[in-house]
Structure 1
């Protein structure tokens, strides 16, 4: 193929130097046909294959490959011939060429068979439609680099978007993402489009029909929105939210966020979503916030109470006072070998006996971990004080409790060397069941200063702290003679004489 520099030389030689086509062909070594084309146009044109390249080895087998290809197109998608399978079939019949040659020819047929997709610009009514999808982002969480799932919801009219990070894509996270998105938008869209997520779809039926998960139907019924599902493999049917996944990833990755908990990461993403409301969509004179204000009155109102986004199951407390959830275990107070109900929210766990919540824990996202609240084991330790030094709940607690507790324990053991001092200490720790830790620490410090190193002394200091101010001074009634006798009536000893005279 002639280059643009060669065309320039030909045109200069012909038009400026006055050389003939014959002379140019002799000096520049181009055919006369090429020279005439360069004289006609300065554009060198594109390379076009005039005739197909010879394929002496593959050529006789192309008809066989075409037949196998046509046969493959009639099979189920997962059972069609691959290029390697076609090559193996040809080898059985005597083909001696390379696999690369066959793969190249099959690739050409595959490319030619693909119909070019044409997409249409879409327009949505205010408040009518939204889209939901999951994405991923890499973050640094508690010093460790991890990949976290991102829940994304987008309103189709205003282009307002909401994102939230979760440790997993389980149903409780799916529901919690919706709830927080509805709070962010201030209303509920009338219809939401999804992929065929397992958290929503139990079975894909013909067309757009789906058998939905029972829990998702209950969730949808609570907020009264409609659900719509994409055709399998056609993610472009909700292309808006697909691009918003990239938006959330960029806001996570530039720079990579660092935090100790998911709450910090979600505060970061929520702030980014709020800032995003100030942008203007191409072709619109209004900001996203203005368009959201327009469509919010046309959306569904949020119910007075949010849906309880938890997954519940029954469990039995083991002899160590622990209840299983996934691969982890959570402590409960003194309900050994009783059946309880475990409610797993996205970020917390509630354990109930009947209708009473007996324990709450932050949800653990590790594997095979025991989440222990030491206060749950104080009753058992009072009965078995000899286990205090080696009990796992106490060892974990002692590693992080304030130094004043060690001072208190040493003083109690000095006063009562027997187990009474330890029992008194455990009774003081039991105050954590009803009072915040900061207040108990202050009460212990005050009791140590006053020398009231016992349960009653700590309780007295605790009551004074909870009462707030000191007792007010007595009311001064001097100058108010009419009120001076109130509250201090004189003693009438004559009443005793009357009593004695009656006896």
Structure 2
């Protein structure tokens, strides 16, 4: 076990290699547990980072997610960031991310567009990567250049994606207390209500706006 301190670059050194930790831990001492192929970083008892172990000494492994809180304050640092290049190489930052980022910067400017991208990247903390990528693609196709639009489309993707080999529950009879009570009520002899007035309202409602 190792107990390195996170430096001002939000990195720790373990056996001559450097690994990133969340920026909130700058200046703090953390605990590192080494395993055969990976290492886990703890702040107290909470796991705060997990990295593959680097085989060659003198290398650096950075996780883009660890820097998002700092980058949203200084968005100009993102384009040339080593963490971004490593995320691209690992397939975490996809061409779809890049296409949406380019479009939103063109629409809203570099700083505002990059902050919007970082808000999208923060969604990865609570949603599956594939759903976020699908959400970005759908939002880009619709010209919806906001993080909120990406989140909505990502949720749609998560709800419509089929679950492979999901067992279907066997049908069960509905035997609720409400249905048993309704079965004992006397028959309703009132005439069926008319909806003619509502039909007239529907015929006169304004035309829907064209789809975006």
TM-score by length of structure 2 reads 0.70
Using the alignment, how far apart are the partners of 2:79 and 2:139 within structure 1?
Answer: 24
Using the alignment, how far apart are the partners of 2:108 and 2:6 within structure 1?
Answer: 36
Using the alignment, how far apart are the partners of 2:124 and 2:132 within structure 1?
Answer: 7
Aligned residue number for residue 419 of structure 1: 111
Encode CA deviations 1:451-493: one digit per residue, 9 max, x unaligned: 2221110010111122337xxxxxxxxxxx96xx9xxxxxxxx
Q: Given the alignment of the two structures, is residue 329 of structure 1 paired with residue 33 of structure 2, yes or no?
A: no
Aligned residue number for residue 392 of structure 1: 82
1:432 to 107, 114, 124: 124
Encode CA deviations 1:239-278: one digit per residue, 9 max, x unaligned: xxxxxxxxxxxxxxxxxxxxxxxxxxxxxxxxxxxxxxxx
* Deviation of 1:338 (Å): 0.4
Encode CA deviations 1:188-224: one digit per residue, 9 max, x unaligned: xxxxxxxxxxxxxxxxxxxxxxxxxxxxxxxxxxxxx
* Deviation of 1:418 (Å): 4.7
2:6 to 313, 317, 321: 317
Q: Tell me which of the two structures has the higher relative contact order, counting C-alpha pairs closer than 8 angstroms and 6 or more residues apart.
A: 2
Using the alignment, how far apart are the partners of 2:99 and 2:10 within structure 1?
Answer: 29
* Deviation of 1:369 (Å): 0.8
Using a 3 Å threshold, how does the CA distance of structure 1 residues 418 and 329 change in structure 2: closer, same or farther?
closer
Using a 3 Å threshold, how does the CA distance of structure 1 residues 418 and 404 change in structure 2: closer, same or farther?
closer
Q: Please provide the CA RMSD for this pair.
A: 2.0
Using the alignment, how far apart are the partners of 1:397 and 1:313 within structure 2?
Answer: 26
1:344 to 34, 40, 43: 34
Q: Secondary structure at 2:54's aligned position in 1?
A: coil
Q: 1:161-180 residue pairs with structure 2 within 5 A? A: none
Aligned residue number for residue 39 of structure 1: none
Aligned residue number for residue 402 of structure 1: 94
* Deviation of 1:389 (Å): 2.1
Aligned residue number for residue 146 of structure 2: 454
Using the alignment, how far apart are the partners of 1:418 and 1:366 within structure 2?
Answer: 37
Using the alignment, how far apart are the partners of 1:429 and 1:461 within structure 2?
Answer: 14
Encode CA deviations 1:85-121: one digit per residue, 9 max, x unaligned: xxxxxxxxxxxxxxxxxxxxxxxxxxxxxxxxxxxxx
CA contact (8 A) 2:32 2:39 kept: yes
Structure 1 unmatched runs, 5+: 1-311, 470-480, 486-503
Larger radius of gyration: 1
Using the alignment, how far apart are the partners of 1:384 and 1:437 within structure 2?
Answer: 24
Number of matched residues? 161
Using the alignment, how far apart are the partners of 2:53 and 2:86 within structure 1?
Answer: 18
Q: Secondary structure at 1:380's aligned position in 2?
A: helix
* Deviation of 1:408 (Å): 0.3
Using the alignment, how far apart are the partners of 1:395 and 1:358 within structure 2?
Answer: 22
TM-score by length of structure 1 reads 0.31
Q: Secondary structure at 2:49's aligned position in 1?
A: strand
Aligned residue number for residue 136 of structure 2: 444
Using the alignment, how far apart are the partners of 1:443 and 1:419 within structure 2?
Answer: 22
Using the alignment, how far apart are the partners of 1:433 and 1:331 within structure 2?
Answer: 17
Q: Secondary structure at 2:131's aligned position in 1?
A: helix
Using the alignment, how far apart are the partners of 1:427 and 1:338 within structure 2?
Answer: 26
